Structure 1
Amino acid sequence: MKVSVIGTGKTGSEVAELLGKQAVCFDSKSNITADKLKETDIAIIFVPGEAAEEVSKVVLESGIPAVWGTTGYSWPEKLPDQVKEANARWVIGANFSLGMNLIRKALNILGKGGEFLKDPEYHIHEVHHVHKKDAPSGTALSWKKWLGRNASISSDRQGDVKGVHNLHLQTDNESIYLKHEAHSRKLFAEGAIWTAEYLLENSQIEPGVYPFSSIFDQAFSKL
């Protein structure tokens, strides 16, 4: 597997390090072209939201599969049609932690299980490094979506925190806590690489745009 690693920031550099000689790296100073991308099997992209539009045009032109870890960007509604027209397969995720997807399943249960509780209140709190531009994090917004409940969200930015997400479910008589803490950005890089390998190994996946969660569920269903 030969991979175009687009974006060599904190997470992108971890992807490149794990891939070693399999990686062809492109940073903000690189002249990315569709022809250069076509020399690789797939792209793994961790660029800031403000760069996503320009990068996506080149990736679309190349037609190669892509794994996107960009947050803080509103993808255009026409994107799925554009990716299909390019006969490409894209996976987009706010958080590529495989463990986070186990959390997703737990959140589904806690959200549905709230029907058994009297006046449950849900609060999500996330903490990230001071350089993270979007708040609340894309993952915190995903937690609320996975929960399927009205939940307040708060954010904090501290030092070089990789990512901490907490859920507090409270009633008058009890509290339930769920927490996920990232110890290293390597876990996001590992998840992105796993996704790239899964896309290439499962060529029967139709062209289009997929959330990371759907790819995880597809693999999970085979266990």
Structure 2
Amino acid sequence: MKVALIGAGKTGGKVAELHSDTIAFDEKNPPTLEALKSCDVVISFLPGPAFLNYIDLLIESKLPVVTGSTGFDWPIDIQKRLKTANVKWINAHNFSLGMNIAKSMIEYLGKAQELFDDIEFKIHDIHHVHKKDAPSGTALSWQDWLGQKAEITAERTGEVVGYHHVEMITPVEKIKLTHEALDRGIFAQGALWAANKILTDNSIEMGLTHFSDVVKKHLNI
């Protein structure tokens, strides 16, 4: 599997460390249609606004794409364009496989609303000072998975790789679910797992598919 890596920052750099057959592209060596032809799959960890600039090129390349770019809104016609081009893309705010196991727990926690009259939910994320978006894309995903309104707070400090927790609070009890990334390699491992999956799993449909749906289907949950 030959990987075209676009965005060789801290997380992208881990992809190159873990997978030797990787060609890294950056501002000094931008991807071209000709260069991408030698690769099997694209992995992008570009900041969202920068990733938007490459969407046309990536669609034209016809390569499957795995992207962890955040901090942007997808074009409203992206699903139609990908299906028309007959290509598969997988996206995620967080490529941690453990995080995507936590997704099922969070969805279950959200159902507690049916049991209590007085209940509130709080989500908090902590990341390194270099992360631009706050709250994180993952924190926003947690609220979606929860299916309930939640107070979301964010903190940027030091070199924290990634920390999230959600609290369910009632007047008489509290449940707290936490996920902490201990090494940035978990995101690279997940992206490489997704890249292999998108190349080998014929059940993944053309168009844009969320990583959590791929993991959930793989685990049959």
TM range (shorter): over 0.9
Q: CA deviation at 1:206?
A: 2.5
Q: Residues of 1 paired with 2:68 and 2:77: CA distance?
A: 19
Q: Residues of 1 paired with 2:203 and 2:113: CA distance?
A: 38
Aligned counterpart, 1:162 = 161
TM-score (normalizing by structure 1)? 0.96
Q: Residues of 2 paired with 1:204 and 1:125: CA distance?
A: 35
Is 1:194–2:193 an aligned residue pair?
A: yes
2:129 counterpart letter in structure 1: V
Aligned counterpart, 2:62 = 63
Is 1:18–2:44 an aligned residue pair?
A: no
Aligned counterpart, 1:5 = 5
Other structure's SS at 2:50 match:
helix
Other structure's SS at 1:172 match:
coil
TM-score (normalizing by structure 2)? 0.97
Q: CA deviation at 1:205?
A: 2.5
Other structure's SS at 1:125 match:
strand
Q: CA deviation at 1:117?
A: 2.2
Structure 1 alignment gaps of length 5 or more: none
Equivalences for residues 130-209 of structure 1 within 5 A: 130-209=129-208
1:121 counterpart letter in structure 2: E
Structure 2 alignment gaps of length 5 or more: none
Q: CA deviation at 1:203?
A: 2.9
Q: CA deviation at 1:168?
A: 1.3
Q: Residues of 2 paired with 1:199 and 1:124: CA distance?
A: 31
Equivalences for residues 26-175 of structure 1 within 5 A: 26-175=25-174
Identical counterparts, % of pairs = 45
Other structure's SS at 1:164 match:
strand
1:78 counterpart letter in structure 2: D
1:25 counterpart letter in structure 2: A
Other structure's SS at 1:176 match:
strand
Q: CA deviation at 1:204?
A: 4.1
Q: CA deviation at 1:54?
A: 1.4
Q: Residues of 2 paired with 1:206 and 1:124: CA distance?
A: 32
Q: Residues of 2 paired with 1:149 and 1:58: CA distance?
A: 38
Runs of 4+ in 1 over 4 A off after TM superposition: none
Spell out, residue by residue over 1:120-145, the C-alpha distance to the aligned partner (whole angstroms, 9 max, x if none). Answer: 11000000010111111000000000
Q: Residues of 2 paired with 1:3 and 1:94: CA distance?
A: 20
Spell out, residue by residue over 1:87-107, the C-alpha distance to the aligned partner (whole angstroms, 9 max, x if none). Answer: 110001000011011111001
Other structure's SS at 1:126 match:
strand
Spell out, residue by residue over 1:67-99, the C-alpha distance to the aligned partner (whole angstroms, 9 max, x if none). Answer: 000000111111111111221100010000110
When the two structures are aligned, how many residues end up with a matched partner?
221
Which range is displaced more, 27-36 or 170-179? 27-36
Other structure's SS at 1:101 match:
helix
2:12 counterpart letter in structure 1: G
Q: Residues of 1 paired with 2:117 and 2:9: CA distance?
A: 46
Other structure's SS at 2:171 match:
coil
Other structure's SS at 2:55 match:
helix
